[in-house]
């Protein structure tokens, strides 16, 4: 359980850090353990928000391919400037994510993690 808690903490830290980097003055984190193996994390902020294209890119980063497809996925990362981002790494720990953001109106990111 401790290892799982560390992964959840890492996910939360990255999402909160991104909110603060977006000049948020109010960040709300909600963590719900639906079961011992299923966790939902929502981070809502009042920061700068993102335009549609940027939100789409973040959504893509957070919804990585199935973890069993690492070899094929890493082969496609070569030369990708976004490949080393914290969100990319977080995306590999998730099963699903939603991104709701508007420029100048904040962002809400909800992520779903199912312990394997």
Structure token pair of residue 6: 């560390």
Neighbours of 61 (CB within 10 A): 20
61 touches 85 (CB < 8 A) = yes
Reported as type and span, the H/E element at residue 17 is helix 2-21
- What are the pLDDT digits (tens) for 7-32? 899 999 999 999 999 999 999 999 99
What integer pLDDT is reported at residue 91 of this predicted model? 86
What pTM does this model have?
A: 0.82
Distant-in-sequence, close-in-space partners of 92: CB < 8 Å, separation ≥ 6: 64, 67
Listed by start position, the domains of the chain span 2-114
Q: Which CATH architecture has domain 2-114?
A: 2-Layer Sandwich (3.30)
Q: Give residue 40's pLDDT band: very low, low, confident or very high (50, 70, 90).
A: very high
């Amino acid at each position: 359980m401790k290892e799982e808690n560390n992964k959840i903490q890492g996910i939360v830290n990255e999402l909160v850090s991104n909110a603060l980097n977006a000049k948020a003055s109010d960040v709300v984190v909600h963590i719900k353990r639906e079961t011992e193996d299923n966790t939902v994390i929502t981070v809502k902020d009042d920061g700068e928000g993102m335009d549609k294209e940027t939100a789409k890119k973040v959504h893509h980063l957070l919804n990585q391919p199935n973890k069993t497809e690492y070899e094929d996925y890493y082969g496609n990362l070569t030369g990708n400037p976004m490949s080393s981002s914290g969100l990319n790494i977080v995306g590999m720990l998730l099963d699903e994510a939603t991104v709701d953001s508007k420029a100048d109106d904040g962002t809400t990111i909800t992520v779903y993690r199912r312990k394997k």
